[in-house]
Structure formats: structure tokens, C-alpha cells
């Protein structure tokens, strides 16, 4: 559940640029561009490296479709977690498919007799984004069944609000970025985790910095853009 939260955090924290029409997209738009992020724990120790590479851009009648390949690795991982993340630009809003964040490697390891049902409400960001704007909520619910055993997990992103435009510096450079705050609630069975996220988004790149806080306001971890490769 924490891993799902991390993926949402890092990737929620990476969406919007300008498409052929009015659409703004906070991910790269040039195929082959790779973003590398460093993820830190609450004490500032690096615990993971996250890479995202734009592998395809496809123009269709109803919009532009983007696919990012993401890889998460670190000393505490037995093997790297890899997945494809899907995004869409319609001209008026940018959409990312929450279904993309289902860990297909873990699903494959659950056995052929496991049935899974996914329900979701995609995250959208309008092209006329501005300070003070309230953004729509999003969620993803996974329901598993293996024989008589049933399990359910849900991640919900709510209270999304656009804040000020700030100057942000990371190892990848200096950026002017919009601050977006949100609340994330993850639940697996009886275990529920609530957190607050603050992320700084740069057009054409995504979230260059993300901070996660507990319900009581204590820093839980952060993710920072380390490099951009084209």
C-alpha cells in the first residue's frame, strides 16, 4: 500500500506541457526524454531512485496519448519495479490513467487463479490552471479474489488546490513552478494511511519536487528531480 502511495506521490506529482492545441501537460513531450528522481525518507536519506522515460506519443482523433516507462529501484528493493504510465491530452485538460499505477509485476506473482477488478476516477488538470484553483478528486480501487479470499485496496486523492508560483532549485536546475497541494488516503484491508502532499510542477517536465507529510504535519519523505536526459 505504501508503494502504491509512493508511485502516486511521485507520479501524481508529474503531469502537465503544451500540446498541439491548448492543452498543458506536465510531463516531457519529446520521445526519449528521461527524468531521474531521488526519493528520500524523513531523515533525508536517499532510499530509492525513480526514472521515467517517455517512450511514445500518439496523436488520435480524441487527443494526444503519452506513455512513460517508470522504474523504481533502491537498496531495500529485491528487484526493480517497472510499469508503463498512461496520459492523455484532450486540448482542454490533461488526464492520467490511475489504472496505470497498478503494479503488473506484483499482479503476475499472485497466481493465475486470482481475479482482479479495478475501478477509478482519473485525475484531470485543466489547461487554464491558475493560483487558487480547486482541482477534481481522483481514486483507484483494486479488488482481489483468490478462491474464497477477498481483498480490497483504495487510494484516493482529494482537496487538490493550486497555490503560488515559486522559484524551486533541485540538482537538475532552477525552475519556476506552481505549487499544488492535495491529501492522499490509502487503505488496504483494515490498515489506513493518510498523508498530505505538496508538489511543485514545471510545464514540460512535471513535479520537480514533492514533499509528503503525515496527518499531524510531520515530514514523511520527499522526491526531487535529479537530472533530465534527452
Find the CATH number of the domain harbouring 101: 2.40.360.20
Given CA atoms 70, 200, 94, 212 in this order, what sign does their dihedral have?
Answer: positive
pLDDT at 9: 46
- Of the chain, the end-to-end C-alpha distance in Å amounts to 33
pLDDT at 141: 80
- What average pLDDT score do residues 1-26 get? 50
Pick 109 or 114 by higher pLDDT.
Answer: 114
Where are the strands (E) in the chain, listed by range?
34-41, 46-60, 63-73, 81-89, 93-96, 114-121, 123-126, 134-135, 138-146, 149-170, 173-188, 191-202, 206-214, 219-229
Instruction: Give per-residue pLDDT as tens, 115-131.
Output: 767 676 788 888 888 89
pLDDT at 193: 86
Length of the chain, please?
230
What is the rounded distance in angstroms from the CA atom of residue 142 to the CA atom of residue 176?
A: 36
- What average pLDDT score do residues 80-104 get? 78
CA 124 to chain CA centroid, Å, is 12
- Does the pLDDT value for residue 32 go beyond 70? yes
What is the rounded distance in angstroms from the CA atom of residue 185 to the CA atom of residue 156?
A: 5
Domain that holds residue 150: 2-229
Count up the domains in the chain and report the number.
Answer: 1
- Does the pLDDT value for residue 173 go beyond 90? yes
Would you tell me how many other CB atoms lie within 10 Å of the CB of residue 30?
Answer: 10
- Does the pLDDT value for residue 170 go beyond 80? yes
- Does the pLDDT value for residue 42 go beyond 60? yes
The mean predicted confidence, pLDDT, of the chain is: 82
- Does the pLDDT value for residue 98 go beyond 90? no
Amino acid at each position: 500500500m505504501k508503494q502504491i502511495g509512493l508511485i502516486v506521490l511521485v507520479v501524481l506529482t508529474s503531469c502537465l506541457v503544451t500540446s498541439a492545441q491548448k492543452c498543458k501537460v506536465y510531463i516531457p513531450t519529446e520521445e526519449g526524454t528521461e527524468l531521474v528522481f531521488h526519493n528520500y525518507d524523513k531523515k533525508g536519506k536517499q532510499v530509492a531512485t525513480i526514472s521515467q522515460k517517455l517512450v511514445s506519443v500518439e496523436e488520435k482523433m480524441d487527443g494526444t496519448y503519452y506513455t512513460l516507462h517508470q522504474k523504481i529501484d533502491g537498496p531495500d528493493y529485491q528487484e526493480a519495479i517497472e510499469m508503463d504510465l498512461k496520459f492523455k491530452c484532450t486540448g482542454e485538460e490533461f488526464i492520467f490513467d490511475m489504472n496505470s499505477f497498478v503494479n503488473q509485476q506484483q499482479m503476475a506473482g499472485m497466481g493465475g487463479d486470482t481475479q482482479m477488478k479495478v475501478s477509478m476516477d482519473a485525475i484531470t488538470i485543466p489547461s487554464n490552471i491558475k493560483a487558487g484553483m480547486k482541482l477534481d478528486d481522483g481514486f483507484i480501487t483494486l479488488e482481489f479474489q483468490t478462491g474464497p479470499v477477498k481483498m480490497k485496496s483504495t487510494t484516493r486523492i482529494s482537496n487538490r488546490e493550486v497555490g503560488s508560483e515559486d522559484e524551486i532549485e533541485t540538482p537538475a536546475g532552477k525552475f519556476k513552478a506552481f505549487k499544488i497541494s492535495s491529501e492522499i488516503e490509502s487503505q488496504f484491508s483494515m490498515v489506513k494511511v493518510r498523508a498530505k502532499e505538496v508538489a511543485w510542477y514545471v510545464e514540460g517536465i512535471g513535479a520537480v519536487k514533492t514533499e509528503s507529510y503525515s496527518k499531524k504535519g510531520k515530514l514523511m519523505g520527499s522526491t526531487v528531480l535529479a537530472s533530465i536526459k534527452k
